[in-house]
Amino acid sequence: MDGRSEFLCGVVEGFYGRPWSMEQRKVLFQWMQRWELNTYLYGPKDDLKHRLLWREVYSPEEEGQLRTLIVESEKRGLRFVYSLSPGQDIVFSSSCDLSLLKRKLRQVSKLGCQAFAILFDDIDHSLCQADSQAFSSFAHAQVSVANEIYRFLGEPPVFLFCPTEYCGSLCSPSVSKSPYLMTVGEDLLPNISIIWTGSKVISRELSVEGLSEVQSVLQRPPLVWDNLHANDYDSRRLFLGPFKGRYPQLATKLRGLLLNPNCEFEANYIPLHTLGTWYRTGRETKKDEEYQYCPEMALSTALHDWMEELSQPLQPGRQSRQADQRSLGQRLGTLESENCHPTTREGRPKPPREPPQGDSPPPSSPEGEEGVRRGEKEGRSEGGDGEEREKKLHNNQFRQGPGQPRGPGGVLCVGKAPLSESQIRLLVGLHYLPHEHGPSAQRLLQDLTWLKEHCHLVSANDKKGPPQKVEEWRGRAAGFLGVCEEIAALHSSVVSGVSKAVLYDLYPYVWDLRNTALVAKAFICWLDGRVLSDSSPLGSWRNCFHWCGTTTGAELLGVESEPWVFKGGVSGELQMLLPIGSNSELFSHPPPLFPTSRLYNIRPYHNKDKVELYRMVRQLQQRAQGSPDSSPAHPDLIGDRCLGPCLALCPEYSMVLEDELGVCGSVLGVVDVRSFAKRCQACWMPAMRDKYPPRTGHANSQVLQQIEEDQGEYPDSLLYHFPSQLRLDALPDLVDVSVTRCLLTALLTALKANGSHGVFCEVQPTDRMRLDFLTKLGFLEIIRGEARHREGVVLGRLL
């Protein structure tokens, strides 16, 4: 191939983060050949010998790997471009550094590489003292080294140079007036191609005018290093959308275009597939000017092909890739593979690992679930509680997501099966492009914004609006909840229906969005006519919505902003639309060690949940005491002590966590502890005296004493800063601890929306796992037990 005349189109592995494995690159070359791309540039920023240790030559083993890649690329008809980034610490005037640079590139050249790139991106503009004396400017120093290396390599047909000012926003004072670019354009040898990313580091569009301007300054057509799908700047974003915003006719203004895609290899099928369509369209357009590249059509074709790819057995190369990733087995563990979640205890799956004796944390801890699935016989409460819980399958309160089949007992089937087309479209729409959301994400954000701004229509303490407006609110709420449920079903299907290679790359993003959607869904359910009692002393409903700005993250970014201005993507924007959204520690945490396809739901408490919640806390109490056979004098005693006052006096601040088997956790809140204590004395304690009438020598006397002690007062100094209180309970064998965090966050969202500025909870000092759990969520120790005349630690956090 004549590299000087051929349009270079392909992939640059140039992101920050873990480089792709050898086997992944071989699969990449297969994709590129299939889609008629022609160039691969090797330049992962975190390859030490590419950037930080650029002076060091490759070991014999590393030489073998590079040679294999070069040979493999040639077999696929691809040009392999080797790049080096010496700019961080090179002394341009040092003959020693120049010799080391030549030695390194000579080594690679002997392996069969015939195309090279020297990169000076993302470095400081300053020169050391020796270079300042030898060169008139930073640009002259770089150009001098690049020209000498180019000649040393025999003036190869493809030699690329990445300037320090590699996009319009980095040029000073502008592209056309930049002394740096002018020097590079004038002094760099004419057959050296110059890399450019567009008007921004991540350019929404590439325009003919902008490229013509830079071509004039550089005195040659630039080669675009396209960061459209790069996600190394935001750990919560993934880009599965089509190649877009670059018209095929731009090829006449360019030396080439190389896409720097997602760090996660398996996420790049659609971006690279559509890039190939774009490239082929550009070649055909020269013959037929009326034929245009359509991103939406290209996406549809790529989606169809990706579905077929996902349904095929994994290629040997991509299977062996797992051996290169030591953490994969640790992170994924054993996945659930059942077609449907069974409805009997005997049919439940075995846990993915059996913890050694004593490894399980105390049952009172919401963290004690890693790798242990609920349903082990010893995990059920005695006296038929487990059987009763499983009977609830037939009255499962989950709403069925669209297109989700039901198994026995009405349980959603999420077994080993390829993702449906609608699910893949949802996945892509939720993780679309850096400057643009897909249709499903746009709808999700628009509905939440509207529902939040019009919540007064269904507020319990406001005069409700016209019936048609109330119905409109509830109709849009139903649509919003439906999309949230589709996200939950998508999460389950990704875990159970794709290969481990795909799961490894996609799971953290799907899991993160699932969690945020759980909180948002609970918040919308909570808003509907069951909140904001008139007696709340913390301000009116309308005044509490100072956080309700109308601008979403996408609007904040604007066309001219870099995507990292607002991080988090759809998940981050959903988060910021919630009252508690600015508290990132509630939303940003690593995914669980063992992914689970189990479906979870968080919703407001209903009166019919009381029996199940009482049973749950009784079970937790018995397990904490280490005597599951023991039972209190009255079956309601533990529930009345732990949950009764909140469920009776302020049920609007109670949330329930459930899975396919029913209730598995709860969080109860009190928005104003002072007024709540008064109501307890006036209403709750008389009811308890009637329920447990005191009798001489009878256990009821001790019961009443315990209940009265539970109503002890808290210091005014505590309540001034933390007027609200919560209690969190969860069965100890949840597989995914993040749902417990979501449950707690859902309550904090409700408390914050109703004006609370601080919340506290009480924890036993011996419960180290719960203390650690709350500390990671921003709670700090406030008071030890002796300060309030009872044992325990009080943790609080501001809202």
Catalytic residues: 122
* Cα–Cα distance for residue pair 731/736, rounded to 1 Å: 11
Report CA dihedral (504, 507, 509, 510) to the nearest 10 degrees: 160
Neighbours of 53 (CB within 10 A): 9
Q: Which residue has the tokens 């699969």?
A: 27
Return the sign of the alpha-carbon dihedral for residues 160, 165, 166, 171: negative
- Residue 379 per-residue DSSP state: G
Contact 35, 11 (CB under 8 A): no
Q: What is the DSSP string of 462-517?
A: S----HHHHHHHHHHHHHHHHHHHHHHHHHHHHHHHS-HHHHHHHHHHHHHHHHHH
Residues 6+ apart with CB under 8 A from 494: 419, 427, 502, 503, 506, 507, 510
Which helix (H) or strand (E) segment holds residue 367: the answer is none
- Would you list the DSSP string of 244-264? -S--GGGGGG-SEEEE---SS
Is-contact 11 30, C-beta < 8 A?
no
119 phi, psi to nearest 5 deg: -115, 130
Q: Please, are residues 245 and 288 in contact by the beta-carbon 8 Å criterion?
A: no
What is the CB neighbour count within 10 angstroms for residue 328? 16
Which two tokens mark 421?
Answer: 């087309």
Q: The tokens of 301 are what? A: 């074709």
Structural tokens at position 65? 């790997």
CA–centroid distance for 408 within its chain: 32
> In the numeric block, which tokens belong to residue 152?
């040393």
Please state the separation of Cα 782 from the chain's center in Å. Answer: 32
Structure tokens belonging to residue 72 = 């493999």
Measured CA distances, 573 to 64, 427, 581 (Å) = 46, 17, 9
Q: Are 431 and 238 in contact (CB under 8 A)?
A: yes
Residue 116 CA to residue 32 CA, distance in Å, equals 19
CA–CA separation, 203 and 597 (whole Å): 37
Of 58, 56, 57, 82, nearest in space to 70 by CA: 82
Q: What are 195's strand-pairing partners? A: 223
Count of beta carbons in the 10 Å neighbourhood of residue 326: 8
Distance CA 290, CA 268 (A): 29
CA dihedral for 774, 777, 782, 788, sign (positive or negative): negative
